[in-house]
Amino acid sequence: MQVPDSRPAGYLVPAAAGVTVLMWASSFVVIRAAGTALSPGPMSFIRMLVATAALVPVALYYRRPLPRGRTLVLVLAYGVLWFAAYTVLLNWAEQHLDAGTAALLVNFAPIIVAVFAGLFLSEGFPRARVIGILIAFSGIVLIALGGSGGVTNDRLGVTLGLITAVLYAASVLIQKVALRSVDGVTATWLGCATGLLVTTPFAPQAFTEIAAAPTAAVLGVVYLGIGPTAIAFLTWAYALARSDAGALTATTLAVPAIAIGLSWVFLAEVPTALGFVGGALALLGVAITRR
């Protein structure tokens, strides 16, 4: 009997991860730009509103059963941590940091995930992953030392950025466990709906600010809801369900390098020579972890 060729499925996981990385990198630039017109809480509420609205038709199409018991608690937990608390704090951080530095701080999370997944999710510490993470992390350090020209980062922004990294790491680990019992579509739309519910207290201010915001800011938040949230979290859940959490999050170490490039093009936040070298090392490290 002929065994079905599984190679196409093997390419889908890195492709899904690549979509997520590119969209998440772009989100740092869009948040930085839209943050001049919208406050952190209202921006998160509008983002979750758009994302949930975009995901409901997808959920209705697949009609998967809702999770119950422990799995439901896990989904609600990372919905609160990732789709609500993380997005609000990241929006706030980027009012004090350039986009590249914010991406750098948030992407300490893959290091945290790799350690805890290796210890508690039986993923171990494969040599290629460890070497790749060390190389990528050294690149991130160079990015931090180089920074971006013309932007002053303050202590509050750095603190908020590190808190978002912890929330991100905790959410990935919780989601990895939840995806053993729930499909990616349900996990994503229910997480978004939870984030929308938690950020609802910002709704009155959000509608006031969005009415006065420039068109570019409005379109930016709509993009955040559809692209880096609805689409990117679907592709992320697809890849995470089929990958080790440590290996997949190591892929996101490329986010700071891409975010710095995008912020240079669109926000004129010019990287230094160290930033260029660090970006190259970060991308090399990610390539090694994906071996």
In whole angstroms, give the CA distance from residue 134 to residue 140: 10
State residue 148 phi and psi, 5-degree precision: -130, 140
- Nearest alpha-carbon partner for 50 in 274, 221, 287, 247: 221
Bridge partners (DSSP) listed for residue 134: none
Query: Which DSSP letter does residue 80 get?
Result: I
Q: Report the predicted TM-score, pTM, of the whole model to 2 decimal places.
A: 0.82
Render pLDDT for 133-167 as a digit per residue (tens, 0 to 9). Answer: 788 777 767 766 665 554 555 678 878 888 998 89
- Nearest alpha-carbon partner for 39 in 92, 83, 1, 116: 92
Select the more confidently predicted residue: 140 or 186.
Answer: 186
With a cut of 80, say whether residue 109 has pLDDT above it. Answer: no
Q: What mean pLDDT do residues 213-241 have?
A: 94
- Say if CB 114 and CB 286 are below 8 A apart: no
A 10 A CB-CB count for 33 gives 17
pLDDT value at position 5? 40
In whole angstroms, give the CA distance from residue 248 to residue 14: 9
